Amino acid sequence: MLLGENNPVLTENRTFGIQCLSGTGALRVGAEFLANNLGYSTFYYSKPTWENHRLVFLNAGFKEPKEYRYWDEQKRGLDIDGLLEDLRNAPENSVIILHACAHNPTGCDPTQEQWTKIADVMEERKLFPFFDSAYQGFASGDLDKDAWSVRYFISRGFELFCAQSFAKNFGLYNERVGNLACVLKSPESVAPVKSQITWTIRGMYSNPPNHGARIVAYVLSNPKLYEEWRDNIRAMSSRIIEMRKALRSTLETLVTPGNWEHITTQIGMFSYTGLNANQSEHMVKKYHIYMLRSGRISMCGLTSSNVEYVANAIKETLNDVN
């Protein structure tokens, strides 16, 4: 699912996966191994990012948290120049947390050309990629397309970790189903690394629950159920994309102040609307449209019956609240 059926690392026996407590657990297990076994101390996360990234890595033993620029508020898009500059200035052996797809919270992903530039800098600076794949299938509706960044880095010869969560794409939020995918340079490294990671897990929570994991394994190993699941993923992703189009169209029809192109260029479950903290609070208090102070809103809550209400609320808020 993550690597693809014909990925050379599978036949070369240079990869393995370990079940973890959802994506958060996979991040923690991988971070503890890197900090305690390899002595890594510096990690970078995007500005902004999912708030738990910083906490997980610090609690795992990392000492130096740093940010790399990501979101350009003026362009309402990716600050690729700032991102690359910050990575060029990163110390060797820094761990770089990368969102595999559907960046949380901005919904703004690098293009394939931009991923290439990111890989170039990371290779030059000897930086370690740690991908967080929480939304595979929800970005584009295509599992392979949403895994492109991870597969590309592997094709470039990187060693890397990837934390996978099956909470969203399998609807198993409370089952805590996750996987830490590890890709190494040689098959000889697999056994010792796997042994040390297993030892880390043993001292942390011993064993993960198996009910949700068995559901995921059964669906992925059954061709008929797998195709049905992929169809469901495509349907859910398509609905989110259609809601993005509807929201943008309605905002533009209402002549809402600003440019709303970013609503449809962003992907995944969330959108950075561009509303500031005061405006976001106004949306919550007056219209009961719940969003973060950063302006992030969940696109999954939009429906054909409420999109006009949301668009009108945004227009009124922008006109009345600074």
Could you give phi then psi for residue 166, rounded to 5 degrees?
-110, 20
Residue 160 exposed, middle or buried by CB count within 10 Å (0-12, 13-18, 19+) = buried
Whether residue 63 lies in the annotated active site: no
> Is the separation of the CB atoms in 283 and 270 below 8 Å?
no
Distance CA 111, CA 131 (A): 16
Q: How far is CA 139 from the centre of its chain?
A: 10
Which residue out of 109, 132, 146, 229 is catalytically annotated?
Answer: 132
What gap in Å lies between CA 17 and CA 304, rounded to an integer? Answer: 40
Sign of the C-alpha dihedral, residues 29, 35, 38, 43?
positive
Q: Which of 148, 168, 229, 260 is catalytic?
A: 168
132 is catalytic: yes
Say if CB 159 and CB 144 are below 8 A apart: no
Q: Which amino acid is at 133?
A: S
Q: How far is CA 214 from the centre of its chain?
A: 24
Show the beta-strand stretches assigned E in 121-235. Answer: 128-133, 160-165, 177-183
Question: Helix, strand, or coil here: 215?
Answer: helix
Active site residue 168: yes
Give 149-152's long-range contacts (Cβ < 8 A, gap of 24+): 149/98, 149/100, 149/101, 149/110, 149/115, 150/2, 150/3, 150/100, 151/3, 151/4, 151/7, 152/112, 152/115, 152/116, 152/119
- Residues annotated as part of the active site: 50, 132, 168
